[in-house]
Structure 1
Amino acid sequence: MDSIQLSALPYLTRTQKEALKKGTLQTVADLLLISPQDLGRRCRISPLEAKSIFTAVCQNNSPQIRSLADVVDEQEQLCSTGDGYLDAALGGGVRTGMVWEVFGQSAAGKTQMALQLSLLVQIPVTLGGLSGSACYITISSKLPTSRLLQIVQAHPLLSKEICGLENINTIKSPTIPILLHVLSKILPDLIAKKATEPNSKPVKLVVIDALAELFHADDKTTTSTLVDRSHNIVEVSTLLHSLASSHNLAVLVLNEVSDVFNRGDPAEANSVGDLGYKQQSKWFGGADSVSGEANKEASLGLVWANQVNTRIMFSRTGRRRHLEDSFSSKRPKANGGQSSGDNDAALDDEAILIRRMSIIFSSVAAPCSLDYIVTAAGISVLPDEDILLRPEDAFPPSQPEPDHDIFPTSPGDIFPTDAMPSSQVAPLDAGLAEHDAQSETRRGEDEEWENYWNADDMSGDIYNSVALNGEEI
């Protein structure tokens, strides 16, 4: 019922269909997801006419009871991210029929995730893909095609034979009206065309990079601008959910972050005892799994937070690690077998920059936090054991290696900081290791002087002869 075209309904008059077309309403779902008041404003018709259209559509499209055997083919599909650990954290991968949001700081890896999925959605279902194509909508940036080709070359699941740039459609939408036109007219037409062409892959992924940039133009924030922004956000969300449900595709929206300022405890200033927005937003607007992560939250506020099914935060941690050789050998190879990556991910001699991913909320997965890196092949999650040093590096041959059966799971418990070589820990940890080593040296010197002064092997005559002005008394 949701995908039924309004233009094909026989009980609507020609005048009503033309009015609905002017209001950019294409399907029954588009009509039922807005109120009669909004319908009148969008289609420039009277409230009485809007109510009559709603009544006619609802009476002729009432829900029908169906057997589960008839809806097996309509089940949600899963697209792999190319990383098994990340797929498990997301509930099996990126699920169709949903709106996914990834937000974070600049250079945190949001675009890497979108590019990665735009390619992996093309691979066969047997390899974890959806045998589909992607629509990539940019706001102000350009689609980095060179990076896409690099991922194709480096990722072990990808190749030029099963995926390529020809299955990624892109369009620029620098304003809100243009984006609404793209989502309501251009994109549905493209999806319908791809679905009917025999040699084309159906659209299975829609990416918006990045939605918050559309709302930076307002120089002054007023009640009117906030109301208009909320209305635009809901309208964009309605179109996105309609596309996701009608065509069984996944929608990925990239978002930015804003700073969180601590102005004291709102509970103390609230005499009524109700929870304030700042107290509630920490549960759905950001994360605090690592230091500094709680200082950022997703843009677009509470209205947009209620429009997404899954919210994921990407953060830059400033931490660096030397990964063990076993992890490096499992990395995708390129350039004649040499491990390659971006400027942050040199695996040979330099420590790799660690980033943090937190699933804030999701309708299909539990909240969790993971470390990840960005390489030539895209985003790769680091399991806990991969960021640890090898036992032989932490414990020299002169020291017995602890029993593996009593190994705890915490890196700090397995490899104490004072046992780590400073060259094998992150810069933030290296300072701590060097500080502990210096403290140990000073402690030894103090004990030596304490033993010297406590030793009772000096005679009392040594204090009877003191040199004053070069003369001995």
Structure 2
Amino acid sequence: MDWERLNLDPRIINAVKKACVRSAKDILSLSSPGLQRLTHLSRSDVHVLRTAVAAEHRRCRPVTALELSLGEWSSLQPGHRLSLACPVLDELLRGGLPLNGITELAGESATGKTQFGLQLCLSVQYPQDYGGLGSGAVYICTEDSFPIKRLRHLITRQSRLRPHVPPALIRSLRFSDSIYIEHAADVEALQACVSQRVPMLLERGLVRLVVVDSVAALFRTEFQADEAIERARHLLAFSGILHRLSNTYGAPVLCINQVSDVVDGPNPGRCDYGMVGSKVLPALGLAWANEVLVRLMLRREEACLRSGGQTSATRSLEVVFAPHLPRSSCLCGVWDEGVKGLPREGLETQPQCPT
């Protein structure tokens, strides 16, 4: 490291060089007493040294919990998140998916979880000015085959989903060429995929989004009830890789998850890890919940929505927990052009969807 570029007293720089400290990692990884013994500097000098090195290498200024809560940190604004291509959904998530950490989307079958994954694979390819990241996506399938027909249909409807984006920009994006599809048949194949092939795509700048559909399928089927410890070990290794990739490359990770039935406890209407009033919880238990930054849940309601001449089953998307979001929800539907949220006021509903 070039110590001369730091705004430090020459006496401190000479002490660091004399101690043969060559990198910022050596400064930040050692304790303050350890640096004092190594460099023979005073406690205050070591504090000045560590502060200067940290300021040189951190990507952004420190942020307080209050700033996170109020949404005042610049990197949490819409331009620094991955948009869901819908103003209502983006408002619920304060701009979209965070670029660092795992976002989980859980729900029962046929709630529309895969639709969200497909929509994000298209949204990530837009420039940052339009809520994207200007790169592709990798979609890892562990259950069903990849829904290529639905993806192609969504591509043809992008101008309807995004009417404010210039048509020339939409036509210039080669959506299909920027989505890399992986199939994992077992946990070993899944681990190899995220530890070997996905890092290559991220390092080359070919992708900035990782979607796993679904995270529970393999971990549920390959481990028996008496193998909970072994399952947790593999699950934590898998989530550790995802966290490392997300934090290293600033790539959001969306993990689609299944649900499990729960037995009513003393407070059946309250559930800190799932939707309020729901009798299901995201699968894989607390071991997985502790690895998730943002937990979202989808629920299919009885009534239907009508909008623009189309009818869709009503879905409720709820923020279960997140470090920067309150617990809240919105209604949404899966339409011909994609997933869109709708304000609760002024909705036209009907008791049942037509068959």
Band of TM-score, shorter chain: 0.7 to 0.9
Aligned-partner SS, 2:196 = helix
Counterparts of 2:119 and 2:306, CA distance in 1: 25
Counterparts of 2:90 and 2:55, CA distance in 1: 31
Counterparts of 1:70 and 1:135, CA distance in 2: 28
Counterparts of 1:109 and 1:160, CA distance in 2: 27
Aligned counterpart, 1:255: 257
Q: Letter of the aligned partner of 2:219 in structure 1?
A: F
Aligned counterpart, 1:105: 108
Does residue 138 of structure 2 align to residue 152 of structure 1?
no
Does residue 208 of structure 2 align to residue 161 of structure 1?
no
Aligned counterpart, 1:240: 242
Aligned counterpart, 1:67: 55
Q: Letter of the aligned partner of 1:203 in structure 2?
A: V
Aligned-partner SS, 1:100 = strand
Q: How does 1:315-326 map to 2 (within 5 A)?
A: 315-323=299-307
Counterparts of 2:155 and 2:143, CA distance in 1: 25
Are the counterparts in 2 of residues 80 and 92 from structure 1 also a CA contact under 8 Å?
A: yes
Listed one character per residue, the Cα deviations across residues 365-422 of structure 1 (whole Å, up to 9, x for unaligned) are: 211111111012211111022315xxxxxxxxxxxxxxxxxxxxxxxxxxxxxxxxxx
Are the counterparts in 2 of residues 207 and 251 from structure 1 also a CA contact under 8 Å?
A: yes
Listed one character per residue, the Cα deviations across residues 2-61 of structure 1 (whole Å, up to 9, x for unaligned) are: xxxxxxxxxxxxxxxxxxxxxxxxxxxxxxxxxxxxxxxxxxxxxxxxxxxxxxx98586
Aligned counterpart, 1:217: 221
Q: How does 1:7-46 map to 2 (within 5 A)?
A: none
Q: CA RMSD in A?
A: 2.7
- Of residues 205, 210, 214 in structure 2, which corresponds to 1:206? 210
Does residue 96 of structure 2 align to residue 93 of structure 1?
yes
> Runs in 1 of length 4+ with deviation above 4 angstroms?
57-61, 72-76
* Bigger CA radius of gyration: 1
> How many angstroms does 1:307 deviate by?
0.2
Instruction: Name the TM-score, length of structure 1 as normaliser.
Output: 0.56
Aligned counterpart, 1:303: 287
Name the structure, 1 or 2, with higher relative contact order (CA <8 Å, separation 6+): 2
Instruction: Name the TM-score, length of structure 2 as normaliser.
Output: 0.74
236 and 82 in structure 1: CA distance in 2 versus 1, 3 angstrom threshold: same
Are the counterparts in 2 of residues 152 and 160 from structure 1 also a CA contact under 8 Å?
A: no
Which stretches in structure 2 are left out of the alignment for 5+ residues?
1-23, 31-49, 62-73
Are the counterparts in 2 of residues 119 and 163 from structure 1 also a CA contact under 8 Å?
A: no
Q: Letter of the aligned partner of 1:191 in structure 2?
A: L
Identity percentage of aligned residues: 27
320 and 249 in structure 1: CA distance in 2 versus 1, 3 angstrom threshold: same
358-367 vs 99-108, which moves further: 358-367
Q: Letter of the aligned partner of 1:385 in structure 2?
A: E
- Of residues 298, 302, 318 in structure 2, which corresponds to 1:314? 298
Are the counterparts in 1 of residues 312 and 335 from structure 2 also a CA contact under 8 Å?
A: no
Aligned-partner SS, 1:352 = strand
Counterparts of 2:327 and 2:89, CA distance in 1: 12
Are the counterparts in 1 of residues 28 and 54 from structure 2 also a CA contact under 8 Å?
A: no
Aligned residues: 285
> How many angstroms does 1:68 deviate by?
7.5
Aligned counterpart, 1:365: 325
Q: Letter of the aligned partner of 1:97 in structure 2?
A: N
Aligned-partner SS, 1:294 = coil
Counterparts of 1:212 and 1:69, CA distance in 2: 37
